[in-house]
Amino acid sequence: MSIDDTLAAWGAAARLPAAAAADIYQRIVMTPSPARAARTSTLGPGLDPAWWRQFSADFSARIVMSTQPVPYAA
């Protein structure tokens, strides 16, 4: 048995068993990560800009109207 064979046997024995490596992988990916958070928290396209323009215009008009004196009821 040459020194190369002995070293190869040592290397094989020192290597992490596949099951242990898989276990470590699972433990890591179970933890929260920025990459996953970015993927899962992505919102849809949102409301149309035209809707927001209309909403803002209506809102402003109501604010202005609220400052007007209310005519006495007849």
Partner 1 sequence: MDPEAEFGRLYEANRTAVHAYFVGRTADKWLAADLMQEVFMRVWQRLPELLDRSLDGQRAWIFTVARNLSVDSFRSERSRADTAAAVDDEPARPSPSAATAVVAAERLAIVSEAIGRLPERQRTVLAMAAAGGLTSAEIGSALGIPAGTVRYRLSEARRTLAAALAGYDQPEPSET
Indicate the residue among 18 and 70 with the shorter CB distance to partner 1: 18
> Among residue numbers 35 through 74, which ones bind partner 1 (CB under 8 A)?
35-36, 38-39
The two tokens of residue 69 are 């004196």
Does an H or E element contain 38, and which?
helix 34-40
11 binds partner 1 (CB under 8 A): yes
Cα–Cα distances in Å, from 27 out to 21, 31, 60?
A: 10, 7, 53
Q: Minimum CB separation from partner 1 for residue 34, in Å?
A: 7
Q: What is the binding site for partner 1 (CB under 8 A)?
A: 1, 3, 6-16, 20-21, 24-25, 27-29, 31, 33-36, 38-39
